[in-house]
Each structure stands twice: as C-alpha cells, then as structure tokens.
C-alpha cells in the first residue's frame, strides 16, 4: 500500500538522534543536560522525564505509536524539509492532555499551550502548505469540550492554518462529540483542524497474537473452576464500588485480584473525607456512603497469579491461567465516571480467551464493538446498561446484573456459555484479524498523511470519511 516514506520533521536533534517536538522548556533542558546521566537509550525518554520531573513530563516518543510500519517513517531535519513540500511535524503527548495544553482556573485563557513551542519558521512553512502538524493522542482518550476548546484556542493563538493541523484521537463517540462542540460553540468546521479517529487498542490486539500465537478453543473452555474473573490493579472509582458491593456475594465462586494499598487519589480523598472528585454528581456521591466501613470489612488483598499488581500493565503482562479457570470476565475499564471514552486492552483480553463479559465502562462501549463486527452477550446479561448515560444508574444496573447471573447454578451457566460457542470463537477470530491487520492500518494512515486530505473527519478503523459537519 505504501509507496513513499512519510517524512517526519523533528526540529531538534542531539548525538542520539531526534528529540520529540514541542517540548516543554523544562523537559527540553533536562534532555539536553541531564538525560544521559540516568538513561542511555533515547527510546526511554518518556520514562526518564516522568521519573525525574513528574507525570506532566511524560512524553510518547516512539514514531507516532507505529509498531509494524516504522520502516516507512523517515525522520528529517528542518534543512531537509526545506527541499520537499510534503512532511509531517509530529507532536506526541502521553497521559492527560492538561499537562501540555490547558486553561487557567477561570477557564478564560490558555496558561499552557504546546503550540507556542513550535518554531515560527515551521509555522510559516505549514501555513505555506509545505507540511502539516500532526498531534498524536491516539493512545489515550480524554476527548471532551475542554480538549476541543484547548486545541481550537491553541491553534488560533499562534495563527496556524487549522486545515494543516491533524489531530489523531481515540474515542468511541468522537464524531458525536465533535458535532456537539462545534454546534454549541457556533464554530465552523473550516475553523477546526482535521480529525482522525484511531481507536488504537483495537489493533493492538496483535500483542496477543505475537505472544501467544493461535490458541485453541477447547483448551480454554474445559475444567473451569470459577464463574467470574475480576482483575483489579489500581482501585479507581468504579473498581472500588464494584469491590465493596460485590465481594461478599461472589467471592466463593470467583477469581479476584486487588490490593487495598493501591487505591487511586480520588478514592483516597473520599475515604479520608477530604472531598469528592468533580466527575461525580450529587447522586453519584451517594454511591460512596459508608465506603470506608465497607472497605474495612474486606481482606487487605487478594492475589491470583502475581502479588506485583502495581507493575502489571498492558498486553504483555497478562497470565493465561486466570482466564482458563473462569467462565466470565467482569471488565472494569480505565474510565467510568470520567469522560474518557476509549477502550483499553482490558476489554479485548477476555475475547482472546473465549470469554463473555460485562463491562463497567463508558456508555456505548458495546455499541461500538458491534459496529466493528463483534458479537456481544445479550444471551447472558441484560445489555441495556450500555445506553444508560447516568453513571450512578449504569453502575447500579451492572451490579444487579452480576448478582443475577451469580444466582445461576454453575452447571446451568456452563451449559449456557457452551451453547454460544460460535459467538466466542467469532470474537476471538475477529480480534486476531484486527491484530494481524495492524500494519495495514498504519500504512493506511501513512497514505492519508502523504496525500491531499479531502475530509474533515475520518474513522481509521471503520474506514469511514465525513466531508462536512452541519
């Protein structure tokens, strides 16, 4: 598919190669002066920056997230870019975007704006249509009014042509959010950058294919001991609620991991009666009534395959045995109360291991999966929870459904799941297909960036273009 290199313009270089673009000046100074003192591999910039300077200095520095088509990416200097008229100036950020672009406390002006750190000569070249700026935020979600407004104001502040700026985001309801933002703020789409929706973790299922190769259905569907599998690393708001409301009910027929020492800051502040996070409504707050007393009744921890929960992350840290031993996964996604609508590896893992699941995540998670061709589990759970927008109502519905399914006798539950063998195999095979097509999607993105863009919005995984937004 790819016939040319995608030239990536990096403004600054050192003896190790290029440095990430649009760096905070503190991070830049660290890389120039102190980086080699603690790290010796440029690939670990993101870890070194966060370790030395704090979480807001976490940078993603790995070729716009590509893992299969890196040979088609060609880093170039500004001098080389002057000889051609088709290049991309990549800006890669990691973690919450507010660390890089954000408003003051009154939401009146941008106090941080990484667009300010782009050299004026590069902005001039971009405005002369000689190249494009690409902001890659496909590894996270956090797409909402604040993000859109920050981008809009940030680009406007430095007088960039918005049609030469491409935002690569990751959100299962991105087009709906974009339409709402533009209409509610009376902004014309021509004043806004190009949007590409790249739901990154859909294709990262290749992580399973690379590690496990093909696994057999029969090997994973026999000799199971538990009804439920509940994997919990850091206890965020939704995992905490499920744990205190379900542990006593399901503990005897479930495989559960958690450690009470790993509560996130939001939960800790609730337990210490300091404050409730802004993402919770008044009705949500009622869910945490007597939370500390309920937590105190639980054991300090529960481990399945490892005691190192805090360091267990991502695709390549999964153990197969917990999935082999249980029938159903209780998936708790990265976000539930926060408007962070992306699907991480947590949703895809059970599918690889032929498991049905119920997901404590954002609204329309199942709708998006169906749009990609997956089959969900309405033969096991009442999946109307997927369309419940009120977070408190949705999590209460999910808790009730888990309790209901828990009442199904073990052998009856086993028979129900075995009778839906075709669904489980279909999902596994489709996950493998998306994983094996990872290079295809990366090359597809390269082709798009190397040619004239005629759309205002593009869904890379669905391969659907939107040409105008009224």
| Torsional sign, CA 1, 88, 41, 209 | negative
Question: Residue 1's pLDDT is what?
Answer: 45
Residue 210 has pLDDT above 70, yes or no: no
Helices 237-250 and 391-406 pack at an angle, to 10 degrees, of 20
Indicate the average pLDDT of the chain. Answer: 87
**Band (104; pLDDT cuts 50, 70, 90):** confident
The average pLDDT across 264-273 equals: 91
Q: What pLDDT is stored for residue 458 in this prediction?
A: 97
Residue 241 CA to residue 254 CA, distance in Å, equals 17
What residue ranges do the domains of the chain occupy? 6-198+438-466, 206-434
Helix, strand or coil for residue 298?
coil
Which residues lie below 8 Å from residue 337, measured CB to CB, with a gap of 6+?
237, 238, 277, 279, 280, 284, 391
What does the pLDDT look like over 24-58, one tens digit per residue? 777 777 766 665 555 544 445 556 666 666 656 65
* Confidence category of residue 2, pLDDT binned at 50, 70, 90: very low
Write down the pLDDT at residue 204: 80
The mean pLDDT value for 432-444 works out to: 91
Contact 301, 295 (CB under 8 A): no
| pLDDT attached to residue 206 | 66
pTM over 0.85: yes
Which comes out higher in pLDDT, residue 346 or 106?
346
Mean pLDDT over 345-363 rounds to: 94
Place of tokens 């104001």: 153
Among 36-40, 72-76, 190-194, 428-432, which stretch is predicted with the lowest mean pLDDT? 36-40
The fold adopted by the segment(s) 206-434 is Rossmann fold (3.40.50)
Sign for the pseudo-dihedral over CA of 142, 148, 150, 154: positive
- In sign, the C-alpha dihedral spanning 257, 260, 265, 267 is positive
pLDDT (0 to 100) of residue 311: 60
User: Using CA atoms, how far apart are residues 23 and 146, in angstroms rounded to an integer?
Assistant: 21
Where do the DSSP E strands lie in 35-125? 73-76, 88-92, 101-103, 110-113
pLDDT digits (tens, 9 = 90+) for 135-182: 998 887 788 888 899 999 999 999 999 999 999 999 999 999 999 999
User: Strand 88-92's sheet: what is its strand order?
Assistant: 73-76, 6-9, 88-92, 132-136, 165-169, 194-197, 457-459, 464-466
Taking each helix axis as running N to C, give the angle between helix 174-184 and helix 145-157, from 0 to 180 degrees, rounded to the nearest 10: 60
- Which range of 19-33, 61-75, 379-393 scores highest in mean pLDDT? It is 379-393
Mean per-residue pLDDT for 298-303? 89
């Amino acid at each position: 598919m790819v016939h040319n290199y995608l030239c990536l313009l990096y403004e600054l270089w050192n003896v190790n190669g290029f440095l990430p673009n649009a760096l905070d000046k503190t991070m830049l100074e660290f890389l120039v002066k102190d980086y080699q003192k603690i790290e010796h591999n440029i690939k670990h910039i993101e870890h070194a920056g966060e370790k030395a300077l704090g979480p807001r200095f976490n940078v993603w520095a790995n070729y716009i997230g590509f893992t299969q088509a890196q040979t088609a990416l060609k880093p170039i200097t500004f001098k080389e870019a002057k000889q051609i008229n088709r290049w991309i100036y990549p800006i890669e950020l990691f973690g919450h975007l507010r660390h890089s672009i954000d408003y003051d406390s009154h939401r009146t002006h941008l106090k941080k704006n990484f667009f300010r750190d782009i050299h004026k000569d590069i902005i001039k070249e971009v405005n002369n249509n000689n190249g494009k700026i690409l902001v890659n935020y496909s590894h996270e979600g956090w797409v909402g009014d604040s993000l859109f407004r920050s981008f809009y104001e940030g680009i406007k502040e430095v007088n960039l042509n918005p049609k030469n700026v491409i935002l690569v985001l990751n959100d299962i309801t991105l087009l709906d959010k974009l339409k709402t933002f533009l209409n509610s703020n009376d902004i014309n789409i021509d004043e806004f950058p190009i949007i590409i929706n790249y739901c990154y973790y859909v294709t990262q299922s290749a992580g399973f294919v690379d590690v496990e190769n093909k696994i057999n259905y029969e090997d994973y569907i026999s000799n199971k001991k538990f009804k439920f599998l509940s994997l919990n690393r850091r206890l965020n708001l939704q995992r905490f609620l499920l744990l205190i409301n379900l542990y006593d009910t399901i503990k005897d027929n479930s495989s559960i991991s958690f450690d009470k020492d790993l509560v996130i800051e939001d939960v800790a502040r609730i337990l210490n009666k300091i404050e409730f996070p802004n993402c919770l409504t008044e009705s949500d707050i009622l869910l945490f009534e007597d939370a500390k007393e309920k937590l105190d009744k639980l054991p300090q921890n529960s481990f399945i395959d490892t005691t190192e929960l805090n360091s267990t992350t991502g695709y390549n840290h999964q153990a197969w045995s917990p999935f082999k031993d249980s029938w159903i996964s209780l998936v708790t996604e990265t976000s539930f109360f926060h408007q962070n609508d992306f699907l991480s590896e947590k949703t895809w893992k059970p599918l690889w291991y032929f498991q049905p699941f119920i997901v404590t995540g954002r609204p329309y998670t199942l709708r998006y999966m169906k749009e990609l061709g997956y089959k969900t589990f309405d033969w096991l759970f009442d999946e109307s929870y997927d369309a419940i927008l009120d977070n408190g109502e949705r999590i209460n519905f999910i808790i009730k459904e888990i309790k209901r399914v828990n009442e199904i006798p073990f052998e009856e539950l086993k028979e129900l799941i075995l009778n839906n063998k075709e669904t489980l195999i279909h999902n596994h095979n489709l996950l493998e297909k998306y994983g094996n097509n990872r290079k295809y999607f990366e090359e597809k993105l390269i082709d798009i960036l190397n040619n004239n863009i005629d759309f205002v919005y593009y869904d890379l995984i669905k391969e659907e273009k939107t040409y105008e937004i009224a």
